[in-house]
Structure 1
Amino acid sequence: MASPTLIAETATRSGSAAAKAAKRPGQRSRERRRNLWIYVFLLPTFVLYGLYTLYPMVASYWYSLVEWNGFSSQQTFVGLDNYEAVFADPLFWSSVRVTLLFMLIVAPLRVFGAFALAILLNSPKLPLRSFFRTAYFLPVVTTTAIVGVVMRFIFDPASGPTAALATIFGLGPIDLLGSSETALITAGVIYVWKFFGITLIYWLAALQTIPADLYEAARIDGAGPMRLFRYITLPMLIPFLLIISVLTIEDCFHAFDLMQTMTAGGPFFSTEIIEIYIYRWAFAASIPQLGFASAAAVLFGVIVLLVVILQVWATVVSRRMRARS
């Protein structure tokens, strides 16, 4: 025979289950109203994203097939003629070369330079490490166009601080942004300084994923700093290398605002990346060619996609080779 206590507990559970079942319709109604308000507040974001991001992306494919100046309502369908004209333009291939060269200058400095600095800033023994983390991230939150204008003043060969410093050391006038030999390298270094903090945050976040117990166990076994770095830190961070590299390389293809305000693609097209090439034909030409610029933009997207795919393929192949060895 069941005890009175067991009977009371069973009755209580049955009563609570019945109460929950009675509340379910009301709870479902409240959840539906709550979800409705969530979608209402998200609707402006969806609309703006669709109008100013998705629609221009889709429309650019159509514009690349027509001849259109962007002002008149007449759009003449020309098929692949715009793509043929882009392929035949030597300045387009020059902009491709400049863009890839810019990426090769910037990406290794950001990825491996930020990695080395993140190792230092991740050490709990480093004094003022929070201050240094903030200091390196401050340029990121600064408006890129303003950075470009300020750097133009700093590197001005007539009145900039760089020219004054060169005069003090007897080096004569130095025009780093006005010379076709040094402009791209100078712009790349400035770009690295501007966005160095983002890559640094990526590596610091990756370092936080390594369990502290691994380091403690290795120290107990007598491992020194170099062994900790070689056998724990490096192997644990290899999966993050691909992600950070892809994000950094993709970011290197979007330097329009900084390059436009500093050099506008000059001198002699030595810093004209593909984005400036597209902008010049779409908005800066005396007679804008939106169809031609859209074809160049579509090809630019294909180039970015191919570069990312090539990097992912190379990483996968290297992993397989290491696994076999």
Structure 2
Amino acid sequence: MTSAMTRTVTRKATARRRGLAARLWSERWSYVFLLPTVVLFGMYTVWPILSGLYYSLLDWNGLGAERPFIGLANYREAFGDPLFWKSLGVTLLIIAVTVPLRVGLSLLVALVLNNPRLPLAKLFRTALFVPVVTTTAIIGVVMGFIFDPAGGPVNQVLLDLGIVGQPVDFLGDPATSLWTVMGVHMWKWFGITLVYWLAALQTIPVTVYEAARTDGAGGWAALRHVTLPLLKPFLIIIALLTAIETMQIFDLVLTMTNGGPFFSTLTTEVYIYQQAFAGTTPRLGYGAALGVLFGVFTLVFAAIQAAGLRYANRVRSSS
């Protein structure tokens, strides 16, 4: 009995192996076409992650041949580093301020631009989206000239209108530098959030508005009882996508203020760059440890985003 059962199990396992091999062979061209993507993903995503984890365990400046293994010492130093926590606080402040403003203002503009009777609506959409496709580093350099206290156009207009009595150093004063960077960042990425809302508005069927008008609902009533409730699931998705994008503000801060003055605009990405590459004595190992911690922080946001997406899908399916 036992030998018969063994032979049966063996035959089934052999059949499964042959079936798997046959399926793989029948779909071989699919795997061939996927191979370049897998190779590139491994080279530019998997390998940098694994090497970053390895470097974070070393006391290495990125140049010398000596790479002493120090274990979790870099992580212990990071948890006790006040500048790291300050940079994280600056990053969170940027998210807390700019995300609600971007999401709210872009929704208002999208409601206006979604009106088919609005003249030049496509022109306005294009104009608001142009900064999105402009290189961020170029915008940062140009904004440095625009806000320059010595002859910059912003200060010139403020002086001509009598709003200020002397030039304002928008990027050189700790009281104004971060708010100036946040304003430029919002202007730069406003168009992508606007596109999100315009796409969400396109999902609302026209028949819903026709039914609301048949019931006597005016423009404000339709907005309050039809448009906004149907946009509620998209609010979660758009807010989370905007928050993830806002964390990637490295190039704008680097070109406008380089984290200054007095660390007032020091975001986590800029601090990692300064520690790993731009310091007097580069500390690639410590910078890698900071990068790993910031990556974990980003994964937390991604997990929140995934939960928000599931919640939004449940709301949409139940409505």
TM-score (norm 1): 0.82
Choose the corresponding residue for 2:65, options 69, 73, 77.
73
Choose the corresponding residue for 1:283, options 257, 261, 277.
277
The residue that corresponds to 2:177 in the other structure is: 183
Aligned length: 288
In structure 1, runs of 5+ residues without a counterpart are 1-31, 321-325
Describe the SS at the equivalent of 1:66: coil
Choose the corresponding residue for 1:90, options 82, 89, 93.
82
Deviation of residue 150 (structure 1)?
Answer: 0.2
Identity of aligned residues (%): 52
Distance 1:69 1:318 in 2: 46
Deviation of residue 306 (structure 1)?
Answer: 3.1
Deviation of residue 42 (structure 1)?
Answer: 5.5
The residue that corresponds to 2:20 in the other structure is: none
Choose the corresponding residue for 2:133, options 128, 131, 141.
141
Counting only pairs closer than 5 Å after superposition, residues 53-202 of structure 1 correspond to structure 2 as 53-170=45-162, 171=164, 172-202=166-196
Distance 1:52 1:230 in 2: 47
Distance 1:292 1:147 in 2: 30
Describe the SS at the equivalent of 2:265: coil
Q: Which amino acid aligns with 1:200?
A: L
Distance 2:312 2:61 in 1: 47
* Worse-matched range after superposition: 164-173 or 251-260: 164-173
Distance 1:65 1:135 in 2: 47
Q: CA RMSD in A?
A: 2.6
Deviation of residue 304 (structure 1)?
Answer: 2.6
Distance 2:129 2:87 in 1: 30
Distance 1:39 1:316 in 2: 30
Deviation of residue 318 (structure 1)?
Answer: 12
Q: Is the 8 A contact 1:107 1:252 kept in 2?
A: yes
Q: Is the 8 A contact 1:105 1:185 kept in 2?
A: no
Describe the SS at the equivalent of 2:172: coil
Cα pair distance change 1:175/1:80, threshold 3 Å:
same
Counting only pairs closer than 5 Å after superposition, residues 295-314 of structure 1 correspond to structure 2 as 295-307=289-301, 309=303
The residue that corresponds to 1:4 in the other structure is: none
Cα pair distance change 1:278/1:123, threshold 3 Å:
same
Distance 2:77 2:255 in 1: 28
1:48 aligns with 2:40: yes
The residue that corresponds to 1:262 in the other structure is: 256
* Worse-matched range after superposition: 311-320 or 38-47: 311-320
The CA deviation string for residues 131-176 of structure 1, in whole angstroms up to 9 with x for no partner, is 1111110111101000000000000111211222233234211111
Choose the corresponding residue for 1:272, options 266, 286, 300.
266
Counting only pairs closer than 5 Å after superposition, residues 20-39 of structure 1 correspond to structure 2 as 36=29
Q: Is the 8 A contact 1:256 1:276 kept in 2?
A: yes
Describe the SS at the equivalent of 1:177: coil
TM-score (norm 2): 0.84
Is the radius of gyration larger for structure 1 or structure 2? 1
The residue that corresponds to 1:206 in the other structure is: 200
The CA deviation string for residues 265-285 of structure 1, in whole angstroms up to 9 with x for no partner, is 000000010000000011101
Distance 2:209 2:312 in 1: 27
In structure 2, runs of 5+ residues without a counterpart are 1-25, 315-319
The residue that corresponds to 1:232 in the other structure is: 226
Q: Is the 8 A contact 1:110 1:196 kept in 2?
A: yes
